[in-house]
Structure 1
Amino acid sequence: MTEETTETPRDTDRVEKLEQEGDIAADYLEELLDIADLDGDIDMDVEGDRASVSIVGADLSQLVGRDGEVLDALQELTRLAVFRETGERSRLMLDVSGFRAEKRAALEKVAAETIERVQETGSPVSLDPMSPFERKVVHDVVAAAGLTSSSEGVEPRRYVVVQPV
């Protein structure tokens, strides 16, 4: 009896493409760490539909910056490095010292509390302005709960509104 795999050649191609993005990003970030004389290890993964690269190490707070501003800029530069090599836009996610992972956990909690409030009151709830990353986390949690959400406003004051069913 043979085992059937549910992974199609198209899925394999997609994962390989994302792994290639991760490799390019890792090489770019290794060079950056060397230039800045910073110690850090780089972990790569594929999470859903995007490559994920994390830099972990002793004190890398200068790569995060105030409220993740430096991390956001570094992510965009890394995406540009991937674009330069592949000719395709990347949705790569970069994390440094677990900053985004902690932020994601806190946002998931806020989203869950907001969902509960919307379900109790039956009224839409608007959240404070958020970055694109933060809004995506909230939208994903809201969708998983079976509710709808939308982004409103103009950057940098763009925010999420969670609607009742």
Structure 2
Amino acid sequence: MREVTATGQSVDEAVQSALEQLNTSRDQVEVDIIDEGKKGILGVFGAKRAIVKVRLAKNPIQEAEKFILDVVQKMNVDVEITTTVESNHVTYELSGEKIALLIGKRGQTLNALQYLTHLVINKEGNQYYTVTLDAEGYRSRRQETLEGLALRMADKAKRIGKKVALEPMPAFERKVIHSVLQDSKEVTTYSDGVEPHRHVVIKPS
């Protein structure tokens, strides 16, 4: 049961009745007031009961999880999802066979799915979530690769005395490059270009 119509002497009483029937709490539902009711004369004559329609609100974190499962099943990949929530950040860790299909070249498939998951989880707009979609530890391996790339390209920029442009990357990957080199006195970094071709440029100081 996801929706009930309930009545009461007041709107609050009607809502409470609906919550008891749904076995849930006020913060987990959406309420439509059909009739606010009337107290009537002396609280009795001409009194009219309040009527409300109460339904369980969709859980955006679970909806996004269902979305991921739906997409990967269409790709003929079986996965298990471990969901971790820290404040307003949600991490979906995928594991299973053929996981490389979900990662794609340089994580492009995983990044695209992460972007879509971010749209799905925030479509109701009641609360804003950030999302990390990981596949068997790919993100930490990719971070190590990016950190190494940042240092190598910084050395190259210093050696040739010219700015070096990296390949296009999503914002959270560009951030890794920037953070690795932010304290360097020999190079500076900035992002250039327009999404999805935005990239980091490393420039000798």
Map of 1:125 onto structure 2:
163
In 1, Cα distance between the equivalents of 2:161 and 2:85? 37
Deviates more, 1:86-95 or 1:130-139: 86-95
**Unaligned 5+ runs, structure 1:** 1-19
Seen in structure 2, the aligned counterparts of structure 1 residues 51 and 148 have a Cα distance that, compared at 3 Å, is farther
Give the fraction of aligned pairs with identical amino acids, expressed as a percent: 29
In 1, Cα distance between the equivalents of 2:136 and 2:89? 19
Q: Greater helix share, 1 or 2?
A: 1
Cα deviation per residue 1:10-67 (whole Å; 9 max; x = unaligned)? xxxxxxxxxx875553343345455666432223346898433221222222222333
Q: Does 1:107 align with 2:149?
A: no
Give the TM-score taking structure 2 as reference length: 0.53
In 2, Cα distance between the equivalents of 1:141 and 1:31? 36
Q: Greater strand share, 1 or 2?
A: 2
Map of 2:201 onto structure 1:
161
The number of equivalent residue pairs is 145
Seen in structure 2, the aligned counterparts of structure 1 residues 140 and 113 have a Cα distance that, compared at 3 Å, is same
Deviation at 1:151, TM superposition (A): 0.6
Map of 2:176 onto structure 1:
137
Seen in structure 2, the aligned counterparts of structure 1 residues 124 and 61 have a Cα distance that, compared at 3 Å, is same
**Unaligned 5+ runs, structure 2:** 1-58
Amino acid at match of 2:153: T
In 2, Cα distance between the equivalents of 1:162 and 1:128? 8
Q: Does 1:76 align with 2:76?
A: no
Q: Does 1:58 align with 2:97?
A: yes
Ranked by relative contact order (alpha carbons within 8 Å, sequence separation 6 or more), the top structure is: 1
Give the TM-score taking structure 1 as reference length: 0.64
Q: Does 1:91 align with 2:141?
A: no
Contact 2:77 2:97 in 1 (8 A): no
Which structure has the larger Rg over C-alpha atoms? 2
Seen in structure 2, the aligned counterparts of structure 1 residues 31 and 135 have a Cα distance that, compared at 3 Å, is same
In 2, Cα distance between the equivalents of 1:64 and 1:159? 20
Deviates more, 1:53-62 or 1:123-132: 123-132
Counterparts of residues 4-23 of structure 1 (less than 5 Å): none
Amino acid at match of 2:194: V
